[in-house]
Structure 1
Amino acid sequence: MIARFLQDIVVNDIEKNMEMDIDKGEELFAIDRGNFYELRKPNGWGTMAPKECEGKYYEIVRD
């Protein structure tokens, strides 16, 4: 699946002291993990996105 972002966001990983920028229109690979999608950039960086945020921050565009 593919997730397309509907707005610019910054993902903060407080535990690892890291940030990941995601731009509006950017597409990430999405894997269904129950209540979340695991989202990965082509370079391997990734995050978990709650499904309840679908439609607000991102949309699933392909299966």
Structure 2
Amino acid sequence: MHLKDGSTPRWCQSGPELLEIAAVTLRMLAEPTRLNLLWQLAKPRLIQKTINHADHQVSGEPAHD
């Protein structure tokens, strides 16, 4: 995946800190009721969005919709 300027997004270049934050986010979904809700509401880009969220935490960039 490439951005409009041809560069690769940071979330595609995952490092240990980024992956740890994403794993913590996904661990919060491990409870069966939450997982069932997620399963019903999920879109195919869940993992991409989770990694992107972790990237914003690591980089300090503000979250966006």
Q: Same fold (TM over 0.5)?
A: no
Report the TM-score, using the length of structure 1 for normalisation. Answer: 0.29
Greater radius of gyration (CA): 2
Bigger helix fraction: 2
Bigger strand fraction: 1
